[in-house]
Structure 1
Amino acid sequence: MEQLKTEREKMLAGELYVAADAELQALRLNAAKLTRLYNNTGEEDGDLRSQLLHQLFAKVGKNPQVTPHFYCDYGCHIYVGDNFYMNYGCVILDCNTVHIGDNVLCAPYVQIYTAYHPVDPKIRLTGKELAAPIKIGNNVWIGGGAIICPGVAIGDNTTIGAGSVVTKNIPENVVAVGNPCRVIREL
């Protein structure tokens, strides 16, 4: 007999899921507590910040720097490499996995969204949601106010211009800008 999936398993599989599920609510509450504690730290609290990021994220590379205020849904679906830098006011909705490579720089107010809702209003009104993973390669710079949409991959050594809305995969070694984001130059 096939075992039924939990709502979290459905969420991570990219299937319709119910966010009001008790396990998911508990995970979000834990993330809210850890981000509140993190956001209330000062510049002199480097060790505490590191401890909190290690409790919040699934994987943290060497030398992470996340400038408060920062927000996420779960935290436990975020994987960051070495020398990760995220400036003020950034948001990661990690209802699915977010893999961020080494030496990634995020300017202020970058938004990374794995979560989305069904387009069909009949399904949307059931309260079910969807999420798709995001992968950001190594040596990527994401300009201020950029939005990374669900299911997107950004290749190594790429720059995403400020204010861009990334709705489709962006290859490696390019500069991409705009809404929707498109390649304007190869490196």
Structure 2
Amino acid sequence: MKTEKEKMLAGDLYNASDPELVYDRLQARLHQKEFNDSGEDQLELREEALRKWLPNAGEDLCIQPPFFCDYGYNLKIGHQVFFNFNCVVLDVMPVLIGDRSMFGPHVQIYTATHPMDANERAKGLESARPISIGEDVWVGGNVVICPGVTIGDRSVIGAGSVVTKDIPSDVFAAGNPCRVIRQLNE
């Protein structure tokens, strides 16, 4: 029989109140508090907190606090990635982020989702779908990226967009719902 954590990572319905998952989120919250409460002059403390909190992050990660996520260990972040102020990543399942991608302020990345059936929701069940963001992607401020989305390499997502479907490489996409506006190589 699968544990609730195994169900979560498989994309199955699971109970987020499971003690192991509650403990994992608590550990993430403690590391994020240490990071978010650090001062601009405490770069060494920030680096140490990030290494503990985001063990799968590449070199030269730059995050402007505050930054929030559920677990931290489900974030697979490439090299030279930048997050501006107030970003939120619900990393119930893996969030893959390619090298040199940039995120404006208030970007929200959600792998977590809930059943459409009210009875299942009432039981406290939820699930998730992974998100993949390519290399050299620029995500404007106040963008929401929904569960299961893939954004291709070198694409730009306009500010305020709600990304509900996959976006190919080398495009500018924007809107609610987000849609391709034009190719970038034109």
Shared fold per TM-score greater than 0.5: yes
Aligned length: 184
Give, in whole Å, the separation in 1 of the partners of 2:182 and 2:101. 19
> Aligned residue for 1:109?
106
Structure 2 residue 139 is matched with structure 1 residue 142:
yes
Q: How does 1:6-155 map to 2 (within 5 A)?
A: 6-155=3-152
Verify the 8 A CA contact 1:14 1:96 in the aligned structure 2: yes
Per-residue deviation at 1:40? 0.7
Q: Secondary structure at the match of 1:175?
A: strand
> Aligned residue for 2:164?
167
Give, in whole Å, the separation in 2 of the partners of 1:181 and 1:15. 27
State the one-letter code of the partner of 1:129.
E
Deviation track 1:36-63 (CA, whole Å, cap 9, x = no partner) reads 0000111222222111111111311111
Verify the 8 A CA contact 1:50 1:64 in the aligned structure 2: no
Q: Secondary structure at the match of 2:123?
A: coil
Q: Secondary structure at the match of 1:135?
A: strand
Give, in whole Å, the separation in 1 of the partners of 2:44 and 2:61. 11
Q: Secondary structure at the match of 2:22?
A: helix
Show structure 1 runs of 4+ deviating over 3 A: none
When the two chains are superposed, the root-mean-square deviation of aligned CA atoms in Å is 0.7
Give, in whole Å, the separation in 1 of the partners of 2:126 and 2:4. 10
Verify the 8 A CA contact 1:58 1:77 in the aligned structure 2: no
Deviation track 1:85-119 (CA, whole Å, cap 9, x = no partner) reads 00011000011111111001000000000001101
Q: Secondary structure at the match of 1:60?
A: coil
Give, in whole Å, the separation in 2 of the partners of 1:55 and 1:96. 19
Q: Gaps spanning 5+ residues in structure 2: where?
A: none
State the one-letter code of the partner of 2:68.
Y
Q: Secondary structure at the match of 1:59?
A: coil
